[in-house]
C-alpha cells in the first residue's frame, strides 16, 4: 500500500492539475487539513451506479451474471485510471463498487459528467449512474462539509433525475430467453440449445464477456456446479455490508484522509474475501496459483463460488450451502479485526452485517438475493437497536416459494416491544454460542434421528408457544431428548425438574429478553 507521503504528493498534484496552478503550499495545506483557501475553479465530482443488483441479477444465468459483474469491474478500473474522463489518476480520490469521487476543473465538470454516463452506457448498455458536482468553496466546514454536501446532492439527483435505460417492449415482441423481459435481437446457438435461442443484445454480450473472462477458469458456469452436492443440493447468497463506514467517511476532515480511508476499506474487503475463499477451498487453480504456475495438485475442480459484487463495503457472494454460514461468520469477524488492526483506519470502530440465504439449487437466484437482502436488514436492525458492533442473520429456505424474510420473525415478536425472539440476528459473541450448540445437536443426531429435527423446525415456524409445548412433550417422553437437554445445559443434573429451564436450554433467547 502506498505510504502517506506518497499519497500526499499524488493528491497534491491532482489538485494542482485540477486548478491549473503549481502545487504550492496552499494546496498542500488543504490536502492535509481540508481547511484554507483554494484558487477558484476546483470542483468535487461524485458518481454512483444505479441499481447495481438489478443489472447484475436480472437473469438466472450464471455466466450472464459473471459477465455483468465483469463489465462493472471494467467500468471501475477504467474510472480509477481517469484516462477516459480526461483526468489524471491522482485526481481520482476513490473509484470502486460502481461509485467514486474526483477533483477537477469547474470548466470540465459538465463534460466529465457526460462521459461518466457514456462509459456506463457503452460498457453495460443498460446500467446507468447518478452524478453530482459542487464547487470546492472556502467555507467554515472545509472539505468535510463539501463531502457531505456532494452526497446530499447525489441523493437528490438520484431521486429527481435517475433515468431508466430499459425501453418498453411491445407485447407481441419476441422476448429474450435469458432475461425474459427485453426484446430478442438474434438467435444464438449455445451448448445447451444447439438449435439456437432468442437473446437480447445485452444478455448476449454479457454471456460472451463471462465466457471470455479470465475468471471463467475458476468460477462455475452453472449454479449446480457450486452446490454442495453433484446433483441437487443447496447453494447460498451471502450479502454483507459494513457498519459505521458512512459515519466514518462523514467525519473525515481532509481529502488525504478521505482517499486513504476509502481505498483502505476497499482493499480490506477484497483481501478478506479472497483469503476466506482460499481457506474454504472455493478457489480454482488459476486464481490461487496463477495461470502459468505449475503445481502438483493442478487439475483440481474449478472454483465453487461467484463474487458478483465486491467493492466499497458491499459483498455479494454465491457459495455452496454447506460453507455459507461459517464463511459469512468469518467474513464479519475478519472485517472487524482488520479494521481494528489497520493503521489507516485509526482505530475506528467499524463492523459488518451479513444476511445469508440458503436454498435448493433450483430456487431462483434473484429471489435468493431478495431473501439475503431482507436478512441483512434484520441484522442491521439488531445493530441499531442493541448497539452491537456486528451481526449476522440467516435462513434456510425449504418451502421453495419466494417470500419476504419477515414471515418467521413476525411470529416471534413481542408486540409491545417489537423485539425479535427467534434467535436471529446474532451478534458475533452469540454466534459462537450458537455454533457450539449446533455441534451438540449434530452429535445427538444419531440418537434423535433426522426426522426429529424436521419436526422441531416445523414447530419453530409455528411460533414460540407450539415449540415450547413440543419440546416439553419430547423431554417427558424420550430419554434421548433428556440427554440432549443436559448436554445443552452443561450437564446440569437438576435441569429436568424445571420446565422453563429445559425450554431455555433448547430454545435460548439471543439478545431478545428485555
Average pLDDT of the residues in 455-465: 76
Residue indicated by cell numbers 454465491: 318
Report whether pLDDT(486) > 80: yes
Report whether pLDDT(290) > 60: no
Rounded Cα gap, residues 316 and 491, in angstroms: 41
Rounded Cα gap, residues 84 and 89, in angstroms: 11
Look at residues 345, 348, 412 and name the one whose alpha carbon lies nearest to residue 378. Answer: 412
Domain boundaries, the chain: 4-161, 172-212, 225-405, 445-506
Please tell me the predicted confidence (pLDDT) of residue 362: 86
pLDDT band at 179 (very low <50, low <70, confident <90, very high): confident
Report whether pLDDT(420) > 60: no
Report whether pLDDT(318) > 90: yes
Give SS3 for 107. Answer: helix
pLDDT band at 294 (very low <50, low <70, confident <90, very high): very low
Which grid cell sits at 95? 473509484
Q: What angle do CA 125, 127, 128 make, to 5 degrees?
A: 115
Q: How many other β-carbons are positioned within 10 Å of the β-carbon of residue 436?
A: 10
pLDDT band at 165 (very low <50, low <70, confident <90, very high): low
**HEC sequence for 426-450:** EEHHHHHHHHHHHHHHHHCHHHHCH
Give the lowest-confidence range in 90-99, 304-313, 461-470: 461-470
Please tell me the predicted confidence (pLDDT) of residue 367: 87
Report whether pLDDT(442) > 80: no
Look at residues 63, 72, 123 and name the one whose alpha carbon lies nearest to residue 309. Answer: 72
Which grid cell sits at 398? 425449504
Please tell me the predicted confidence (pLDDT) of residue 514: 34
Which residues, in sequence order, are CB contacts of 382 under 8 Å at separation 6+? 388, 391, 393, 420, 425, 426, 427, 511
* DSSP β-ladder status, 306-311 and 391-397: unpaired
Give the lowest-confidence range in 51-65, 77-91, 352-366: 51-65
**Residue 502 CA: distances (Å) to CA of 279, 402, 420, 473, 478:** 38, 35, 21, 11, 14
What is the four-CA torsion angle of 414, 405, 233, 331, rounded to 10 degrees?
Answer: -90
Give SS3 for 423. Answer: coil
Give the lowest-confidence range in 69-73, 309-313, 508-512: 508-512
First to last CA, the chain: 46
pLDDT (tens digit, 9 = 90+) per residue, 182-226? 888 899 998 888 899 999 999 999 998 888 875 445 567 778 888
Crossing angle of helices 464-477 and 479-488, in 10° steps, is 120
Which grid cell sits at 263? 481505498
Please tell me the predicted confidence (pLDDT) of residue 167: 63
Look at residues 434, 431, 408, 405 and name the one whose alpha carbon lies nearest to residue 420. Answer: 408
Do 344 and 266 contact (CB within 8 A), yes or no?
Answer: no
Please tell me the predicted confidence (pLDDT) of residue 409: 54
Which tops the pLDDT comparison, 404 or 130? 130
pLDDT (tens digit, 9 = 90+) per residue, 367-404? 899 889 988 988 898 888 888 889 998 888 876 555 54
The b-or-e profile of 164-201 (16+ CB within 10 A means b, else e) is ebeeeeeeeeeebbbbeebebeeebeeeeeeeebbbbe
pLDDT (tens digit, 9 = 90+) per residue, 47-74? 999 888 888 888 888 888 888 898 999 9
Please tell me the predicted confidence (pLDDT) of residue 430: 78
* CATH H-level superfamily of 4-161: Reverse transcriptase/Diguanylate cyclase domain (3.30.70.270)
Report whether pLDDT(335) > 90: yes
pLDDT (tens digit, 9 = 90+) per residue, 237-261? 999 999 989 888 888 999 999 999 9
Q: How many other β-carbons are positioned within 10 Å of the β-carbon of residue 241?
A: 19
pTM (predicted TM-score): 0.80
User: Mean pLDDT in the chain?
Assistant: 82
Do 245 and 94 contact (CB within 8 A), yes or no?
Answer: no
Please tell me the predicted confidence (pLDDT) of residue 20: 87
Rounded Cα gap, residues 415 and 398, in angstroms: 27
pLDDT over 90, % of the chain: 32
Report whether pLDDT(113) > 90: yes
Q: How many other β-carbons are positioned within 10 Å of the β-carbon of residue 363?
A: 23
Rounded Cα gap, residues 69 and 57, in angstroms: 9
Rounded Cα gap, residues 365 and 359, in angstroms: 10
Same CATH fold assignment for domains 4-161 and 225-405: yes
* CATH class of domain segment(s) 225-405: alpha beta
Q: Which residues pair with 437 in a beta bridge?
A: none
DSSP 8-39: HHHHHHHHHHHHTS---HHHHHHHHHS-S---
pLDDT (tens digit, 9 = 90+) per residue, 18-42? 888 888 888 999 999 998 878 788 8
Rounded Cα gap, residues 239 and 375, in angstroms: 9
Report whether pLDDT(330) > 60: yes
Please tell me the predicted confidence (pLDDT) of residue 301: 52
- CA count, 13 A, side-chain hemisphere, 451: 0
Q: Which residues pair with 183 in a beta bridge?
A: 175
DSSP conformation class of 287 = H
Crossing angle of helices 428-443 and 479-488, in 10° steps, is 150
Amino acid at each position: 500500500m502506498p505510504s502517506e507521503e506518497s499519497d500526499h504528493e499524488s493528491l497534491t498534484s491532482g489538485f494542482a492539475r485540477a486548478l491549473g496552478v503549481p502545487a504550492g503550499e496552499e494546496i498542500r495545506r488543504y490536502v492535509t487539513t481540508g481547511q484554507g483557501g483554494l484558487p477558484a475553479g476546483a470542483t468535487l465530482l461524485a458518481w454512483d451506479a444505479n441499481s447495481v443488483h438489478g443489472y447484475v441479477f436480472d437473469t438466472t444465468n450464471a455466466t450472464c451474471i459473471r459477465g455483468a459483474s465483469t463489465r462493472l469491474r471494467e467500468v471501475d478500473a477504467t474510472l480509477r485510471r481517469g484516462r477516459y474522463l480526461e483526468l489524471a489518476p491522482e485526481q481520482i480520490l476513490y473509484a470502486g463498487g460502481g461509485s467514486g469521487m474526483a477533483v477537477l476543473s469547474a470548466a470540465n465538470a459538465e463534460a466529465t459528467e457526460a462521459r461518466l454516463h457514456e462509459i456506463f452506457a457503452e460498457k453495460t448498455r443498460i446500467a446507468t449512474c447518478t452524478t453530482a458536482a459542487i464547487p470546492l468553496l472556502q467555507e467554515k466546514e472545509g472539505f468535510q462539509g463539501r463531502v457531505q454536501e456532494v452526497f446530499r446532492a447525489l441523493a437528490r439527483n438520484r431521486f429527481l433525475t435517475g433515468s431508466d435505460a430499459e425501453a418498453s417492449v411491445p407485447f407481441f415482441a419476441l422476448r429474450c430467453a435469458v432475461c425474459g423481459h427485453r426484446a430478442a435481437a438474434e438467435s444464438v446457438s449455445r451448448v445447451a440449445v444447439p438449435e439456437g435461442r432468442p437473446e437480447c443484445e445485452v444478455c448476449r454480450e454479457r454471456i460472451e464477456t463471462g465466457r471470455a473472462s479470465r475468471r471463467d477458469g475458476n468460477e462455475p458456469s452453472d449454479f449446480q456446479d457450486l452446490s454442495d452436492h453433484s446433483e441437487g443440493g443447496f447453494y447460498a447468497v451471502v450479502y454483507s455490508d459494513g457498519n459505521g463506514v458512512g459515519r466514518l467517511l462523514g467525519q473525515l476532515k481532509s481529502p488525504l484522509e478521505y482517499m486513504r480511508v476509502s481505498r483502505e476499506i476497499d482493499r480490506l474487503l477484497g483481501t478478506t474475501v479472497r483469503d476466506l475463499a482460499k481457506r474454504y477451498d472455493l478457489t480454482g487453480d488459476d486464481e490461487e496459483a496463477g495461470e502459468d504456475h505449475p503445481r502438483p495438485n493442478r487439475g483440481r475442480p474449478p472454483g465453487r463460488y461467484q463474487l458478483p459484487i465486491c467493492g466499497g463495503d458491499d459483498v455479494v457472494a454465491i457459495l455452496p450451502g454447506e460453507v455459507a454460514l461459517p464463511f459469512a461468520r468469518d467474513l464479519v469477524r475478519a472485517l472487524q479485526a482488520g479494521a481494528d488492526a489497520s493503521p489507516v483506519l485509526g482505530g475506528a470502530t467499524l463492523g459488518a452485517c451479513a444476511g445469508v440465504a440458503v436454498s435448493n439449487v433450483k430456487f431462483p437466484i434473484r429471489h435468493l438475493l431478495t431473501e439475503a437482502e431482507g436478512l441483512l436488514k434484520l441484522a442491521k436492525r439488531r445493530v441499531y437497536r442493541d448497539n452491537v458492533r456486528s451481526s449476522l442473520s440467516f435462513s434456510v429456505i425449504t418451502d421453495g416459494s419466494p417470500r419476504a424474510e419477515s414471515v418467521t420473525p413476525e411470529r416471534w415478536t413481542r408486540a409491545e416491544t417489537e423485539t425479535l425472539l427467534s434467535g436471529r440476528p446474532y451478534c458475533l459473541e452469540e454466534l459462537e454460542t450458537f455454533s457450539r450448540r449446533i455441534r451438540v445437536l449434530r452429535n445427538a443426531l444419531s440418537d434423535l434421528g433426522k426426522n426429529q429435527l424436521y419436526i422441531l423446525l416445523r414447530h419453530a415456524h409455528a411460533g414460540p408457544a407450539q415449540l415450547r409445548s413440543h419440546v416439553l412433550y419430547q423431554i417427558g417422553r424420550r430419554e434421548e431428548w433428556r440427554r440432549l437437554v443436559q448436554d445443552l445445559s452443561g450437564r446440569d443434573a437438576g435441569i429436568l425438574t424445571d420446565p422453563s429451564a429445559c425450554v431455555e436450554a433448547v430454545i435460548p433467547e439471543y439478545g431478545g429478553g428485555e
